[in-house]
Amino acid sequence: MAHIKLNNEQLPGIVGLLDYSPATAAPLTALADALLVADSTLTKAERELIAASVSYWNGCHFCHTSHAAIAVAHFKSDISLIDDIKKGLPHTDVSDKLRALLHIAHQVQKGGKHVTEEDITAARKTGATDKEIHDTVLIAAAFCMYNRYVDGLGTWAPAKNEEYIEMGQAIAQRGYSVAVPQEAAVF
C-alpha cells in the first residue's frame, strides 16, 4: 500500500502516481519519451539499459524491472536480460562505448560530482560523443528522480520478471504515453 491514498491502488509503481497527479504525469512521461524514445545515436535498447541499471543501483525494483523488460523488447532478447543487468551485463554483448557510458551513469547515480574527467576521457576513447555523454548523465539523473518518486511514496511492484514483459513490449512499441493511466491495462 502506498504511503498516500492513490486514485487506484491496483496500478503499480509510477503508473499509480501518474494517475494520481495528471499535472505531473504529462511532463514526466514527456521527459521519459525525450530521453528514451526520441531519435538518438544511442539506441532505445542502450538507453533502456542505462535506465534499468541506474534503477537497479538505486534499489528501485519497479523501475529496474520495467525498464529492463523494455530493453528485452528492444533487443528481442529473452527474459534473462533482466537479471543480467543486475550482474553488470556479463552475458550480454554490449559495446565498450556502452560499458563506458554505464560507468558514467553509475558515477552519476552515486552523485554527480563522482563523474571525473578520466571517466569522460575513457568514454570518448570508445567513441562516445559529447551528446551521448550528455544524454547518459541526464538519463541517470532523471532515473534517480523517478526511482525516488516511486520508492519515496511506497508504491507496490509486481514481484516476478514475467509480470513486466507485456508492459515492456507495449512501451517499446508506443513510447511512454502508454504508461498514462487510461491505458494502464497493460499491467
Among 75, 59, 79, smallest CA distance to 157 is for: 59
- Identify whether 34 is part of a domain: no
- Identify whether 6 is part of a domain: no
- Identify whether 9 is part of a domain: no
CATH number where 110 lies: 1.20.1290.10
Please give the DSSP secondary-structure letter assigned to residue 94. Answer: -
d(CA 67, CA 150): 14
H-helix or E-strand containing 134?
helix 130-152
pLDDT of the residue at 135:
98
Q: What is this structure's pTM?
A: 0.94
- Identify whether 172 is part of a domain: yes
Q: Would you state the cell numbers that stand for residue 3, as one nine-digit string?
A: 504511503
- Identify whether 31 is part of a domain: no
pLDDT of the residue at 179:
62
Range of the domain at 131: 41-186
- Identify whether 126 is part of a domain: yes
Q: How far is CA 145 from CA 45, 122, 141, in A?
A: 21, 26, 7
Name residues whose C-beta falls within 8 Å of residue 9's C-beta, 6 or more positions apart in sequence. Answer: 1, 2, 16, 156
Residue whose cell numbers read 539499459: 49
Among 93, 92, 114, 91, smallest CA distance to 104 is for: 114
* Per-position pLDDT tens, the chain of length 187: 899 999 999 999 999 999 999 999 999 999 999 999 999 999 999 999 999 999 999 999 999 999 999 999 999 999 999 999 999 999 999 999 999 999 999 999 999 999 999 999 999 999 999 999 999 999 999 999 999 999 999 999 999 999 999 999 999 999 997 666 554 434 3
- Domain count within the chain: 1
Compute φ and ψ for 94, nearest 5 degrees. Answer: -125, 155
- Identify whether 148 is part of a domain: yes
- Identify whether 72 is part of a domain: yes
Q: Would you state the cell numbers that stand for residue 123, as one nine-digit string?
A: 568514454
Compute φ and ψ for 69, nearest 5 degrees. Answer: -65, -35
